[in-house]
Structure 1
């Protein structure tokens, strides 16, 4: 009996626990389940695949200048090792070199206009591509002499893609001097004047082809050729660092003998000239070590010794 329940009666209302109704079915004895073999799980979804696009998009991917340059100058050997850390280190070294070149051009007034600085950088890239094209046959010849006899045929077969990229680059770049030397656009009135003739139609077609296909292919191809070292990874993963180290020292010698970066103090000039090959050599040696330690790829695998 309490102040809250003066009569001492149990509280009225719903009970906290209600009796359960009887089960309609008596409990059944345990029956083992039939064996079901494990079903194959669906594969893990990969990265989203871009839609195929319309006919114009498919045509651009097939014959467009940039997509064509990627197919021509990017390595595509099955089973090739592509290390993202190595690619990232190369990009860092490249951007550091470009930043140093721009700083030196701005500080010592080597170029008065941004367009002149960009033109100098494009000329340097083109010179690097030409030096690569001249050095690659020498390197392939050395590797051919050092390789085991049973590896030489495969070495030449893989090197054929690299030489094909060189031929494509030289053929595309030769379009410009051929047009100039042949006088194709001379001796005819301007396209916007007079009546439209078959000759003017041909000139317009050539002009559009050179402007919107050949020029983007050459510009994009030069960058890809230097980045992928004329797809020499198709020969072996150790060839690009070897070739790029040789190219860096060749470009340093060219800068020394041609008197590059005139107007810069002597100490700064030689620090800049030697800094590029030294940094490229450091990155190349690190890349060779990483390929050997992480992937088991070394010069013996290239030469089959």
Structure 2
């Protein structure tokens, strides 16, 4: 089960399943917003250089909030460092073993349609509490999805191992080790955050009222904040790449997506209840989203089989 050579999983990179094209940095005329969307954020001096070109009417209100501005000046380098390390440990590119432009386009179309439908339902039937609940659910899904992946992925991988012929299992097992290391990296960092934060709180209470204790607590709080940024950036990556399980089997991310979306729908229903609107709208919102994601996932699996020779039993 290899990429390139005579394997059936050759990605469509030229030439003939060779290595992927090198990563090209942003163009010279890219805007600051485009650069912030890239994997590597610009240094703080470049961000301040863009800020100097802002009109004076923007700077006057900003001078009234000196402490928030200083906080941003400290947090941006910390977040940039954590983001760079997160992208090094959890790469964001090539999260699919086979890059199918039609599948990626369909996934974006489905996502925009789902977002539009959710906004229409909230505008038509939602209250202020429903809008707040929608925001809370977005953060909740980001926090709970990696844990659901951790519970779901072993079952789906075991099913694929069951379908695969004995000759393919050693290669799949070897490709599983990097995914396991990714899981250990993520959950090790995730677990370290509350432990380190509890240590900072303990030290601040132990040396309460002492200047040295306050400085020590602040110095120890910076690594905790760095780790929080690291886990936050890593969460978006591991959710998109499903802990890089495409290395094990090209169809595994689509399978995990099809299962995970129903688990998230059940969790959201238990935690927040049905969406606003009449019963018919509620039923369509509850079933339509997971069903459309599952449909796109199975369509992707079908294209893997017909266009790239990837089967669940291969």
Structures share fold, TM-score greater than 0.5: yes
TM-score range, shorter chain: 0.5 to 0.7
- Asked if residue 218 in structure 1 is aligned to residue 231 in structure 2, the reply is yes
Unaligned runs of 5+ residues in structure 1 are 1-45
Offset, 1:92: 2.9
Judge conservation of contact 2:133–2:272 (CA < 8 Å) in 1: no
Offset, 1:146: 2.8
Please give the per-residue CA displacement for 1:242-288, whole angstroms capped at 9, x wherever unaligned: 11101112223334444523654332222111111111111112211
Out of 172, 178, 201, the residue aligned to residue 161 of structure 1 is: 178
Out of 207, 221, 236, the residue aligned to residue 207 of structure 1 is: 221
User: 1:117-132, aligned counterparts within 5 Å?
Assistant: 117-132=134-149
How many equivalent residue pairs? 247
Structure 1 equivalent of residue 274 of structure 2: 261
User: 1:1-80, aligned counterparts within 5 Å?
Assistant: 64-74=81-91, 80=97
Which one is further off, 75-84 or 124-133?
Answer: 75-84
The DSSP-based 3-state class of the residue aligned with 2:168 is helix
Return the alpha-carbon distance in structure 1 between the equivalents of residues 238 and 259 of structure 2: 15
- Asked if residue 295 in structure 1 is aligned to residue 308 in structure 2, the reply is yes
Structure 2 equivalent of residue 187 of structure 1: 205
Unaligned runs of 5+ residues in structure 2 are 1-21, 29-39, 46-76
Return the alpha-carbon distance in structure 2 between the equivalents of residues 187 and 132 of structure 1: 37
TM-score, normalisation: structure 1: 0.66
Out of 176, 182, 191, the residue aligned to residue 174 of structure 1 is: 191
The DSSP-based 3-state class of the residue aligned with 1:236 is coil
Structure 1 equivalent of residue 152 of structure 2: 135
Offset, 1:181: 4.7
Offset, 1:69: 2.7
Please give the per-residue CA displacement for 1:11-43, whole angstroms capped at 9, x wherever unaligned: xxxxxxxxxxxxxxxxxxxxxxxxxxxxxxxxx
Return the alpha-carbon distance in structure 1 between the equivalents of residues 143 and 23 of structure 2: 36
Superposed CA RMSD in Å reads 3.7
Return the alpha-carbon distance in structure 2 between the equivalents of residues 264 and 173 of structure 1: 37
Structure 1 equivalent of residue 108 of structure 2: 91
